[in-house]
Structure 1
Amino acid sequence: MSYRRTAGAYACVTLLVASLTFLLWMLGFSFDLVNIALIYLLPVLLSAVYAGKGPSLYAAALSVLAFDVFFVPPVLSVTVEDLRYLISFVIFLAVAGLTASLADRLKQQLQYAKRREAQTALLLALSKEMGQLTEIPSLLASLSAQIARHVECETAFYLVHEGRGLERVVQAPGFSRWEVTEKEAVLAEWVFTHRTTAGRGAETLPEASGLFLPISSEDSIFGVMAVNLKGKKLAEDARPLLEALAGLAANTMARIRLSEEAKLAQLTAESEKLRNAILDSVSHELRTPLATITGSVTALIEGERIFSSSDRLELLSTVEEGARRMNRLVSNLLGMVQLESGMLQLRQSWCDIEDIVGVVQHQVKELQRNRMLHIRLQPDLGWLRGDQGLLELVLVNILSNSFKYSHDYSLVTVDVRLEQGSMNIRIADEGIGVDKSDQERIFDKFYRAKHSQNVPGTGLGLAICKGIIDLHGGSIKAETNDQQGLTVTVRLPVHDRCTAVPLVP
């Protein structure tokens, strides 16, 4: 308690005893002396509860003096007629002192309970906050801020770096600026090696300027947390708080490392899966068009005099079809690699959706064969902001799937219209369709629906479509038709200048 607060407490006690004495004096001797003595216990109790033990004992002494002078015969004198009053004064002081001690102890216990409750709430809030952190620098910044706020100390951290051992963390703005000496760095190394708290307030090296705590869990140690006490004594309940924060930091670091290892394992698995898909595509998907091209070219070379002009044209058409199929496959593989690596960048310009549909219709003409393609375009669709080449790839992949999984002489419909501020492109077929449980999963990499296992494919086409549409800020979904087949809907945002003359950025 500061000097100003202490002086104020004693002044309040003096004023309280004086006011009570004046009130009792004005009432005269209508109260029995025993009752007056009991009333004088009130300032003692109040001062014990609100001011502490010292002011309470002062209130007891001042109450005895006021009781003696103003109410014990002879009045207005410190002397007493009956010496038995002296025994009463001693008993009053003893009861007042005991009461003050009990009240002060209860007050301290209450304050301790409140501090523990605050610490528990702090640890709970920190555990929730740290549960959302995914980077160690953010964790250290949060710890430094909390320790500065609740313990009023600066903090330094030592973490393990592969190949370099224990090193002081390079601190970003907002971290502690405590300059740790070489001696304290050696102490941090000792704490890390022995996993034991050392420094000021601990059993080991208590003369150090700071307290060093290991950041460790049951089976791992991640570093050391150093708290600069600046030569002052650590509060009784501050060390358990710091130890709890160090343990919480260790658990968070373990979670972050496990998360990083899981991401690395997932990335490795995805890379292996992509590699296997590429190898499978090279060995199977590319082999078929290559065999077709090789056979047709060989026939043209060796049978130059045998084949008529129409036969040669048919063989060349077969070569062209095989080359287009290889080009689509290679484009999908390269597109997926670019999406996975984050290298796929949009080259946006103002695009005419009618031109895009026309180009796509020409590209899939060879795949159409005996299927019927019906295109419906709403008048005055205007311009669309996007990467024309990638949007063409999206429609080519969707239409390729529609033709691939549809029967001969079935109908495939492309419907393009403006609805609620977006460009909606719906491609519906009368093919084998997919189950409702597969309608979202068909956009996952390498996933193929149960009904399509017998049809050649890599499971990359729709995944690439989703990645491209997401980059454009749109959405794509698949729905089973009421009767037969599947409808894929692509929704692209339309900007305010959709009706303006296209300008390449």
Structure 2
Amino acid sequence: MDETRQSPEQILKQIEKEEQSLNRGHLKIFFGYAAGVGKTYAMLKAAHSAKRRGVDVVAGYIEPHARPQTSALVNGLECLPNLVSEYNGITLSEFNLDAALARHPQLILVDELAHTNAPVCRHTKRYQDIEELLNAGIDVYTTVNVQHIESLNDTVASITGIMVHERILDSVFDNAGQVELVDIEPQELIERLQAGKVYNPTQAERAIENFFTVENLTALREIALRRCADRVNLLTEAVRIKSHSDYHTDEHILVCLSSSPSNPKIIRTAARMANAFKGAFTALFVETPDYQVMSEEDVKRLRSNMRLAEQLGAKIETVYGEDVPFQIAEFARLSGVSKIVIGRSAATRRSIFSKPTLTDKLIASTPNLNVHIIPDTEGKSVAYRVKKARKKNEIVFSVSDLLKSVAILILSSCIGMLFRYLGFAEANIITVYVLGVLVTSVVTRHRIYSLISSIVSILVFNFFFTEPHFTLQAYDQGYPVTFLIMFLAALLTSSLAVKLKNHAKQAAQAAYRTKVLFDTNQLLQQAKGKNEIVSATANQLIKLLGKDIVFYLSENETLSEPHIFTVSGDKTDEEITGINEKAVAEWVLKNNKHAGATTETLSSAKCLCLAVRVNSRVYGVVGIYIGNEPLDSFEKSILLSILGECALSLENEKNAREKEEAAILAKNEQLRANLLRAISHDLRTPLTSISGNASNLISNGNSFDEATKNQLYTDIYDDSMWLINLVENLLSVARIEEGRLNLNITEDLVDDVITEALHHVNRKSVEHHITVRHKEDYLLAKMDAKLMVQVIINIVDNAIKYTPKGSNILIKTWKQEDKAVITIADDGDGIPDDMKERVFDMFYSGANKIADSRRSLGMGLSLCRSIVNAHGGKITVSDNTPHGTVFTVTLPAGEVEIHE
């Protein structure tokens, strides 16, 4: 068996991916190692070449250069007007994305891929603008230098001494359709610079001194060449995977996240390793109690580092615990990590008595893993700031905590007095004070109170329970040691209690969030219909986040009316679903990406909008009113899981609805097939009889006597009436199946309906004895008289067809409570018990033979049941005594009004 053969799901995904790539624009990057190598010039020349081939080319944005040769190439190209805005008194000109989308050329030129947009723009970065152009099916030419690639930022900075802030994701570069390296010799670039072809003389002189040295340019050129080679390797691997060659990697790179300013360097190094080893990439953050006292600056930096890791392709994970090395080691063991990348935070030990560093502990905890240590010079200062902030947080005055501490101390002293009165040893009294400190650490919120309680407990014990009493002196030489042990025991137990309390709080928080996820799964499984799925999802998100939620369902690739779920009701619908907020949701629906608050796209919105999606299919958009408070990584992970469950439920609901519609369609098709099959047989006999009798009358009418003619006329009439009744039944069945059976309910006399029906029954009724009996003189029923006439006709015709000549047919009516009852009984052979349940089924005619040799379509009784049920009544069949069949119809009875 061929183990490399793809499954149907893989083939379908590949087909969908290929279809998407066909509809998506192609990106070509003109790549250089420094400014002035000729990237924009090469891009403009390529644009003119494409224009000569008949391509619709537009210059979307060309960075204004003081280079005559480059500026001259702009002539002859259609240029879009720039988006001009004012920011802090400065006039800014930006690429006009909306104008480009409205113009929709085949090819557009957008210079400076790594540029950061002005706040007025939709996206924070220009590469995001280009991504939207590509999704719209527009080809793009753009330019970028090697120092702007995210993973190479630290390497370039170490060479040039300049940290570049405008950067692009490596995935943007790697996923480009084409990358053309624009390369010249470093010495030639310096000569161009000296000739004033790159910068003006003042800038050129400063650049040559600081940046444009032969050594720097040579190193940058080497990095650019290597990066292009890496991209070629990636393309080769992609082709090999696509051709189903054997390819497997067990490498799993884990990078540790922190709020250190040098952590981005560590993340980029890990990302390069993951790309080089073609392995999985995970970023882990261990949340400790110190996280609660981190400064706002450190929290902001940590979130920025998490976002960077996510942009570089890492999967963000969060674990809780105070022992950071143990948590990292356990996660690595359970997740199959092969390499750990961590920063070196004060990695040296000054003496053998120094406390082991985090790096030392991690290496000891993971003897079978490769731990890559990257210099982290800022780690110590960050740890110091956290420690300082924690101490500051501990020294918080709280009246309630102070009163609790004093009350526990007084209670401990009272119990100590009681123990001394009862003659207990001092060790028991010491235990009481240790217990008091432990209780203080549990009931107070800040650790400082348990520390103070430890010290005060020693002083109180010395004052009340040591000789001499009521002084702070002690005669016994062993008391200092007792005090020390008492203090250490109290301090140790209080510290452990505080840690346990923090761990319990973290565990409860994690358990609650996990429970929300599990409950969501169960609720969505029980939900029926879109509205219940939306309601269940939104309520679970409110439980998780405690924030207002707005849910837009997607219908025919447009947003439906929003479903709003608020926590406190203090916000108006306009705040949550205003024009700007809905515009963000529509953008998310169209582009299948996150946008809004705390993102780099339409960040001025108050809501964070996320797509409810399964792969590329978007079933809705969820808006979370978060303002400027970003979600932490664990909350976001649970949030995405809930939205994933919601999307699967909506997909299952859609599939079930389509399956039901397909079943109905199949049933209707089967009905049509049965009708055509039945009609093809059943219409042939009466039509042949009518045409034959008519032909005989036309050809031999004069040779027939009057009796023969009358018989022929009667046969033609009977056959015609049979066809008319058949057509009426067919039309009624069609209306019922299409849901177009409109009832005209009135209160009519049952006697009149039966009389009208008997006027239209089969002419063979003269061969039977039909009797009508009414127990009520005036019996009214709520019904559509025309349809009920058809019901009576069908039942009586059925009795005439299936009973021998001379049989009796008895129709009786009476009122039973609030129902009008009609029975039609015959004394024929009856219906076997095994057929009674099927006589009302469509196209069922039983095994009876019909005397006139016409087959029955088996629609009459089925039609009767549909009509009676539509009236809110009931039709049943039973045996007659001593033999025969009884059909019973019940309808809602009407009230007889008596006028005096």
What are the residue-to-residue correspondences of 1:197-216 with 2, within 5 Å?
A: 215-216=612-613
Alpha-carbon distance, 1:98 to partner: 4.0
What are the residue-to-residue correspondences of 1:128-139 with 2, within 5 Å?
A: 128-130=525-527, 132-133=528-529, 136-139=530-533
Asked whether the equivalents of residues 213 and 225 of structure 1 are also in contact (C-alpha less than 8 Å), the reply is yes
- 1:33 maps to which of 426, 449, 465: 426
TM-score (norm 1): 0.81
Alpha-carbon distance, 1:9 to partner: 4.0
1:189-243 residue CA offsets vs partner (Å, 9 max, x unmatched)? 66x37xxx89989999999976665534589664554434323243675445423
Alpha-carbon distance, 1:172 to partner: 4.6
- 2:403 maps to which of 5, 8, 11: 11
Q: 1:439 aligns to what?
A: 836
276-285 vs 398-407, greater mean Cα deviation: 276-285
What are the residue-to-residue correspondences of 1:311-326 with 2, within 5 Å?
A: 311-326=708-723
1:159-200 residue CA offsets vs partner (Å, 9 max, x unmatched)? 6665x5xx544315658724537677656666x37xxx8998
Pair 97,172 (structure 1): closer, same or farther in 2 beyond 3 Å: closer
- Does residue 70 of the first structure (1) align with residue 469 of the second (2)? no
SS of aligned partner of 2:887 = strand
- Does residue 231 of the first structure (1) align with residue 628 of the second (2)? yes
- 2:562 maps to which of 156, 159, 171: 171
Q: 1:398 aligns to what?
A: 795
Q: Distance in 2 between matches of 1:111 and 1:231?
A: 26
Alpha-carbon distance, 1:314 to partner: 3.0
Asked whether the equivalents of residues 745 and 782 of structure 2 are also in contact (C-alpha less than 8 Å), the reply is yes
- 1:262 maps to which of 640, 659, 681: 659
Q: 1:146 aligns to what?
A: 540
Alpha-carbon distance, 1:396 to partner: 1.2
Asked whether the equivalents of residues 277 and 458 of structure 1 are also in contact (C-alpha less than 8 Å), the reply is no
1:82-137 residue CA offsets vs partner (Å, 9 max, x unmatched)? 3213322332233323441354156326624762575266325523542x22xx35
SS of aligned partner of 2:657 = helix
Q: 1:425 aligns to what?
A: 822
Asked whether the equivalents of residues 533 and 646 of structure 2 are also in contact (C-alpha less than 8 Å), the reply is yes
179-188 vs 39-48, greater mean Cα deviation: 179-188
- 2:889 maps to which of 470, 487, 490: 490
Q: 2:10 aligns to what?
A: none
Q: 1:275 aligns to what?
A: 672
Alpha-carbon distance, 1:282 to partner: 4.3
Q: Distance in 2 between matches of 1:183 and 1:391?
A: 58
SS of aligned partner of 2:806 = coil
279-288 vs 462-471, greater mean Cα deviation: 279-288
1:394-431 residue CA offsets vs partner (Å, 9 max, x unmatched)? 11112222222223333333232222321222223345
Q: 1:180 aligns to what?
A: 581
Pair 377,462 (structure 1): closer, same or farther in 2 beyond 3 Å: same
Q: Distance in 2 between matches of 1:103 and 1:482?
A: 85
- 2:751 maps to which of 354, 358, 361: 354
Alpha-carbon distance, 1:353 to partner: 0.9
Ranges in structure 2 where 5+ consecutive residues have no aligned partner: 1-291, 293-392, 567-572
Q: Distance in 2 between matches of 1:61 and 1:207?
A: 53
Alpha-carbon distance, 1:335 to partner: 0.7
SS of aligned partner of 1:342 = coil
Q: Distance in 2 between matches of 1:68 and 1:37?
A: 10
What amino acid sits opposite 2:426 in the alignment? L
What are the residue-to-residue correspondences of 1:87-166 with 2, within 5 Å?
A: 87-101=484-498, 103-105=500-502, 107-108=504-505, 111-112=508-509, 115=512, 118-119=515-516, 122-123=519-520, 126-130=523-527, 132-133=528-529, 136-156=530-550, 164=557
Alpha-carbon distance, 1:301 to partner: 3.7
1:276-317 residue CA offsets vs partner (Å, 9 max, x unmatched)? 344335433333333333333334444443344444333332
Pair 34,209 (structure 1): closer, same or farther in 2 beyond 3 Å: farther
What amino acid sits opposite 1:21 in the alignment? S
What amino acid sits opposite 2:649 in the alignment? T
Asked whether the equivalents of residues 157 and 224 of structure 1 are also in contact (C-alpha less than 8 Å), the reply is yes
Q: Distance in 2 between matches of 1:5 and 1:399?
A: 95
Q: Distance in 1 between matches of 2:680 and 2:545?
A: 66
SS of aligned partner of 2:498 = helix
1:131-153 residue CA offsets vs partner (Å, 9 max, x unmatched)? x22xx355334423432344222
Q: 1:456 aligns to what?
A: 855
- 1:85 maps to which of 475, 482, 486: 482
Alpha-carbon distance, 1:331 to partner: 0.9
Alpha-carbon distance, 1:347 to partner: 1.4
SS of aligned partner of 1:417 = strand
Q: Distance in 2 between matches of 1:312 and 1:5?
A: 119
- Does residue 364 of the first structure (1) align with residue 757 of the second (2)? no
Q: Percent identity?
A: 22
SS of aligned partner of 2:767 = coil
Q: 2:870 aligns to what?
A: 471
Pair 235,57 (structure 1): closer, same or farther in 2 beyond 3 Å: farther
Ranges in structure 1 where 5+ consecutive residues have no aligned partner: none
Pair 184,125 (structure 1): closer, same or farther in 2 beyond 3 Å: closer
Q: Distance in 2 between matches of 1:39 and 1:421?
A: 83
Alpha-carbon distance, 1:251 to partner: 2.4
Q: 2:435 aligns to what?
A: 42
Asked whether the equivalents of residues 455 and 487 of structure 2 are also in contact (C-alpha less than 8 Å), the reply is no
Q: Distance in 2 between matches of 1:437 and 1:230?
A: 70
What amino acid sits opposite 1:152 in the alignment? G
- Does residue 342 of the first structure (1) align with residue 723 of the second (2)? no
Pair 273,180 (structure 1): closer, same or farther in 2 beyond 3 Å: same
Pair 296,451 (structure 1): closer, same or farther in 2 beyond 3 Å: closer
SS of aligned partner of 2:612 = strand
26-35 vs 345-354, greater mean Cα deviation: 26-35
SS of aligned partner of 1:336 = helix
Q: Distance in 2 between matches of 1:161 and 1:34?
A: 76
Q: Distance in 1 between matches of 2:543 and 2:687?
A: 70
Asked whether the equivalents of residues 818 and 893 of structure 2 are also in contact (C-alpha less than 8 Å), the reply is yes
What amino acid sits opposite 1:144 in the alignment? A
SS of aligned partner of 1:305 = helix
1:453-477 residue CA offsets vs partner (Å, 9 max, x unmatched)? 9971223222221221122111122
TM-score (norm 2): 0.48
Asked whether the equivalents of residues 57 and 96 of structure 1 are also in contact (C-alpha less than 8 Å), the reply is no
SS of aligned partner of 2:581 = coil
Higher normalized contact order (CA 8 Å, seq sep 6+, divided by chain length): 1
SS of aligned partner of 1:445 = coil
Q: 2:355 aligns to what?
A: none
2-11 vs 29-38, greater mean Cα deviation: 2-11
Q: Distance in 1 between matches of 2:618 and 2:849?
A: 51
SS of aligned partner of 2:839 = helix
Q: Distance in 2 between matches of 1:430 and 1:37?
A: 106
Asked whether the equivalents of residues 748 and 780 of structure 2 are also in contact (C-alpha less than 8 Å), the reply is yes
Alpha-carbon distance, 1:356 to partner: 1.5
Q: Distance in 1 between matches of 2:883 and 2:487?
A: 103
What amino acid sits opposite 1:359 in the alignment? E
